[in-house]
Amino acid sequence: MKSFVGTNTEASGTEDRYPSRVGDKPVIIERRDPTVYSEWSEDSPLTREQSAFYETNGYLFLESFFTDEEIAEWREELRRLQEHYRTRDAKEVIREPGGGEVRSIFAVHDRNDVFRQAARHPRLLNIVRYLLGGDVYVHQSRINYKPGFAGKEFYWHSDFETWHVEDGMPAMRALSCSIALEDNYPFNGPLMVIPGSHRKFVSCVGRTPENHFRSSLRKQEYGVPDPGSLTALVRESGIETPIGRKGSIVLFDCNIMHGSNSNITPYPRSNVFIVYNSVANKLQAPYSGQAPRPTYIAAR
Amino acid sequence: MKSFVGTNTEASGTEDRYPSRVGDKPVIIERRDPTVYSEWSEDSPLTREQSAFYETNGYLFLESFFTDEEIAEWREELRRLQEHYRTRDAKEVIREPGGGEVRSIFAVHDRNDVFRQAARHPRLLNIVRYLLGGDVYVHQSRINYKPGFAGKEFYWHSDFETWHVEDGMPAMRALSCSIALEDNYPFNGPLMVIPGSHRKFVSCVGRTPENHFRSSLRKQEYGVPDPGSLTALVRESGIETPIGRKGSIVLFDCNIMHGSNSNITPYPRSNVFIVYNSVANKLQAPYSGQAPRPTYIAAR
């Protein structure tokens, strides 16, 4: 497995190749980093087609990646945590807007034995190391509950936009793995991605107030892409909803534009969400010039 | 075409066979009316299979029912009305919660030449008369804009529950026709139905305040089915999303449980929505004992 030495500039320190929340007008900037950081070979943990699909589309769906036993264990832990936090507060716990239901629990890879093991799953890590070209660490992890009846939407966003501006992630050399803990349907608010959008960076308008992160995890207000840019991206390549049975995973590039609709069905859509970042892409000071977010949201 | 004389009790006046918003606990009541009010014959405007499907499932999807020319005309009129009401207010115009975007315009069959013709479309009326067993009139009509990016969800509901309690509709002898003016996708907030749920009436808890209808058309707060009943209905028969190209229609029984998720995609999901009621099922005084809603919402 060989990294493309020299093609990324993650060590550039303060140079901001992806400025956002600095202007009055949205701008679309071409990606200046690779998407797949290794050269494919027979020994790679993905097929040539899978690797090419990820490079072109910015995501890869793998049906039944985890076994029913693994999922059963994680679901049990998920329910235990939900019960635990029903009546207790913790800074890692985010609740649904306008309600007390648990929406997300952060840093589960760090504070929970079960999900620490999940994040280190060897078969998964192999693929992640291949895509990111070498050693990785967990930048962020969380459980998203997306409960039935009341799961609200996540509006369109590029994770990288936030991680860059608010956390100081220099380059696009990170990816997310979303593990479905429930069967996903077209109608229970599945992840929607705009294929190929990872190759464009939508620079958003507006500035970020200090310490807005707690409310932003409930409802986004900053770093929101404008309707014109979204329409342009969708016109180019449409929308995909990679869905499948529980145990399926979606790997997606840190800069792919994604979101999800609300979920009024009785089917919850819980998932575990683990973000891996290359060790060569460690966080700098946030490009917003503001204080960094807490480490349970962005590991340093 | 023969009606089932005597099987429905729509002339019963004040007898309330479907009480709702009267108790503290939700109750599921078996349907006491037919679903298809005519006997099928070779001359019927639906095939035997279509008629049986509607009877069993409470809805029927007909792909490309209207021509591209018809849809083009209606879309143009829809845009003209949207433009017209962008800066003007009217009681028939309902806006999105938390925003000024037009959500719905009511009574378009009555006040607009283009949609008056649409509501009287002979091929459509033939089917409606067959299903409802005789002459019909338009109980309610509206355009739903469901705009891109910001279309909010419509939570689960039975239309009949509202029409019965708030408008005094005695029997389940009405149906809706939803005409897709845009291509529908799984991800732009399509109509979701619970097949077969038209055979159960979910009696809702709570009471209705006076004159709540304006806010209820933006966001429901009364006549909302409880999670337990919804879960039971979905467990029995799942959820269907009848979707297709623009020009497709969905006919659905007044008592089928339906709703839709939000729409954050750039694709709007505009539709025309026409409710037909049997002339033998004319409105009485509302079963809530309150004042009737205005005639642009419920024709008398």
Average pLDDT over residues A32-50: 98
The yes-or-no verdict on residue A193 having pLDDT over 90 is yes
A185 within a domain of the structure (yes/no): no
- Nearest CB to B262 within list A156, A186, A261: A261
**CA–CA separation, B157 and B224 (whole Å):** 6
B14 within a domain of the structure (yes/no): no
The yes-or-no verdict on residue A111 having pLDDT over 90 is no
b/e code A87-120 from CB counts within 10 Å (16+ = b): eeeeebbbbbeeeebbbbbbbbbbebebbeebbe
B79 within a domain of the structure (yes/no): yes
- Give the type of residue at B155: Y
Spans of chain B, pLDDT less than 50:
1-12
**A186/B264 Cβ within 8 A:** no
**B264/A259 Cβ within 8 A:** yes
Average pLDDT over residues A249-257: 98
Task: Give this complex's ipTM.
Answer: 0.84
The enclosing domain of B80 has a CATH number of 2.60.120.620
Domain that includes residue B86, residue range: 27-179+193-281
CA nearest neighbour of A218 among A86, A121, A94 = A94
What pLDDT is recorded for position B213? 66
What pLDDT is recorded for position B106? 95
**CA–CA separation, B141 and B147 (whole Å):** 18
The first and second tokens of residue B279, run together, are 């002339």
- Name the E strands within A10-126: 27-30, 59-62, 93-95, 102-106
Rg (alpha carbons) of chain B, rounded to whole number: 18
What Å distances lie between residue B210 and B213, B292, B298, CA to CA?
Answer: 8, 10, 16
Looking only at the bridges linking them, the beta strands covering B136-144 and A136-144 are: unpaired
Q: Which helix (H) or strand (E) holds A178?
A: strand A174-180
- Nearest CB to B231 within list A231, A260, A266: A266
Which residue of B lies nearest to A226 if distances are taken between CA atoms? B149
Looking only at the bridges linking them, the beta strands covering B59-62 and A200-203 are: unpaired
- A interface mutation test: which of B157, B258, B261 has the most A CBs within 10 A? B261
Q: For residue B167, how many C-alpha atoms fall within 13 Å in the half-sphere facing its CB?
A: 25
**CA–CA separation, A244 and A134 (whole Å):** 29
CA nearest neighbour of A244 among A179, A177, A186, A183 = A183
CA nearest neighbour of A213 among A140, A282, A293 = A293
| Minimum distance, in Å, between the CA of residue B39 and any CA atom of chain A | 35
What pLDDT is recorded for position B24? 85
Residues of A in contact with B265 (CB under 8 A): 192, 234, 239
What pLDDT is recorded for position A24? 85
Looking only at the bridges linking them, the beta strands covering A93-95 and B154-158 are: unpaired
What pLDDT is recorded for position B211? 67
The single-letter DSSP state of residue A198 is: G
b/e code B246-258 from CB counts within 10 Å (16+ = b): bbbbbbbbbbbbb
Residues of B in contact with A241 (CB under 8 A): 186-187
CA nearest neighbour of A59 among A151, A171, A186, A190 = A190
Q: B251 near B175, Cβ under 8 Å?
A: yes
**B262/A155 Cβ within 8 A:** no
A61 within a domain of the structure (yes/no): yes
| Minimum distance, in Å, between the CA of residue A21 and any CA atom of chain B | 20
A113 or A103, higher pLDDT: A113
**B186/A186 Cβ within 8 A:** yes
B5 within a domain of the structure (yes/no): no
Q: For residue A206, how many other CB atoms are within 10 A of its CB?
A: 15
B238 within a domain of the structure (yes/no): yes
What pLDDT is recorded for position A220? 61
Q: A194 near A234, Cβ under 8 Å?
A: yes
B300 within a domain of the structure (yes/no): no
B291 within a domain of the structure (yes/no): no
**CA–CA separation, B224 and B188 (whole Å):** 23
What pLDDT is recorded for position B152? 82
CA nearest neighbour of B199 among B31, B59, B18 = B31
Give the pLDDT band of residue A3 (cuts 50, 70, 90): very low
Helix, strand, or coil (residue A223):
coil
What pLDDT is recorded for position B160? 97
Three-class HEC string of chain B: CCECCCCCCCCCCCCCCCCCCCECCCEEEECCCCCCCECCCCCCCCCHHHHHHHHHHCEEEECCCCCHHHHHHHHHHHHHHHHHHHCCCCCCEEECCCCCCEEEEECHHHHCHHHHHHHCCHHHHHHHHHHHCCCEEEEEEEEECCCCCCECCEEEEEHHHHHHHHHCCCCCCEEEEEEECCCCCCCCCCEEECCCHHHEEEECECCCCCCCHHHHCCCCCCCCCCHHHHHHHHHHHCCECCCCCCCCEEEEECCCEEEECCECCCCCCCEEEEEEEEHHHCCCCCCCCCCCCCCCCCCC
Q: What is the pLDDT of residues A212-227, one digit of tens each?
A: 666 666 556 678 999 9
**CA–CA separation, B202 and B72 (whole Å):** 38
Question: How many structural domains is chain B composed of?
Answer: 1
- Nearest CB to B266 within list A227, A263, A264: A227
Residues of B in contact with A192 (CB under 8 A): 187, 264-265
Q: What is the pLDDT of residues A49-98, one digit of tens each?
A: 999 999 999 999 999 999 999 999 999 999 999 999 988 889 999 887 76
**B186/A230 Cβ within 8 A:** no
**CA–CA separation, B251 and B272 (whole Å):** 12
pTM of the complete model: 0.86
Which residue of B lies nearest to A233 if distances are taken between CA atoms? B266
